[in-house]
Amino acid sequence: MSAPVDDQKHLISAGGIEALSTLVSGLPANFPAPIVLAQHLDPNRPSLLSGILERRSKLPVVPISGEVALAPGHVYVVPSNRHVVIRDGKVAVEGDHGDRPCPSIDLLLSTAARSYGERLIAVVLTGSGSDGAEGAVEVKEHGGCVIIQNPQTAAHPSMPAALPPTAVDYIVELDQIAPMLHDILRGTAIEKQIGSADRSSLEDVLEVLAHHGRVDFRQYKPTTLLRRIGRRSAISDKRSIRVAPSIPGSIRSTKIRSISESRR
């Protein structure tokens, strides 16, 4: 499975070694997005994270050194004692950024959010402190998706719990995050499977919403709407979009068949 460059998703994840290992081990060999992993480690000791992940991952693991172009299906590991930023499709090591924890999860997420907007998925796993909370808010403000490990079952819940509820899209058990990511990415390709009849169905739904709701979605690009519908469909396991029962029967049965077909 692959995604075109302009729709390419990018994944940023932060957490403990065991949590990151569990996440990476659950990703398939054909995972269609680059993954950047960050963790707070002792800067005075050599990091073993890359080696540990290599033994658990079906994907190539790349320790970040200098500036690296992000490629789909690769896991990039942030060094333990350096800040990194994401710009123009590359992840790069940076110098000092004041009193920020090193590496700064906030800095990583905020620069990624500005670069990728709604194409970014941020995953926050078990951890201590609050570094990453501000960055996750910025991811949300730029239209990205934020997933956190369930704080109630996390070994160190203070980090995922530090995020404001409005910044969180999904609270998920650790072993279910990798399958969810796969489903989200699969959903982003739905617009490529839409035929002319299905686009007409979408237009019917938007027409009903414009006349019976307070928001007119007809000004949005169909590809943008379908991408977001696909993401929501993958997560909620909804197989169709239907007009509310209060709308006349001739319109009520309207649905986007491609969503149902893509889930078979």
* Confidence category of residue 246, pLDDT binned at 50, 70, 90: low
Catalytic site includes residue 88: no
Domain boundary among 130, 161, 187: 187
In terms of residue numbers, what domain contains 74? 5-187
Q: What are residue 107's DSSP bridge partners?
A: none
Catalytic site includes residue 42: no
Do 44 and 10 share a structural domain? yes
Query: Exactly one of 40, 74, 83, 182 is catalytic; which is it?
Result: 40
Do 92 and 166 share a structural domain? yes
Tokens of 3: 């995604």
Do 142 and 48 share a structural domain? yes
Do 96 and 45 share a structural domain? yes
Q: What are residue 94's DSSP bridge partners?
A: 83
Nearest in space to 126 (alpha carbons), one of 10, 35, 39, 235: 39
Do 199 and 174 share a structural domain? no
Domain boundary among 155, 187, 219: 187
* Confidence category of residue 253, pLDDT binned at 50, 70, 90: very low
* Confidence category of residue 55, pLDDT binned at 50, 70, 90: very high
Look-up: residue for tokens 């990205």?
144
pTM of whole model > 0.75? no
Query: Exactly one of 106, 131, 169, 198 is catalytic; which is it?
Result: 131
- pLDDT tens-digit series, residues 170-184: 888 999 999 889 888
Nearest-angstrom CA–CA distance, 167 and 137: 5
Q: What is the pLDDT of residue 259?
A: 36
Q: What is the number of other CB atoms lying within 10 angstroms of the CB of residue 105? A: 29
Q: What is the pLDDT of residue 236?
A: 54
Do 240 and 180 share a structural domain? no
Do 148 and 112 share a structural domain? yes
Domain boundary among 167, 187, 207: 187
- Contacts of the segment 90-95: beta carbons below 8 A, 24+ positions apart: 91/36, 91/64, 91/67, 92/66, 92/67, 92/68, 93/64, 93/65, 93/66, 93/67
Nearest-angstrom CA–CA distance, 115 and 78: 18
Q: What is the pLDDT of residue 107?
A: 92
Number of domains in the chain: 2
Catalytic site includes residue 40: yes
Chain centroid offset of residue 242 CA = 26
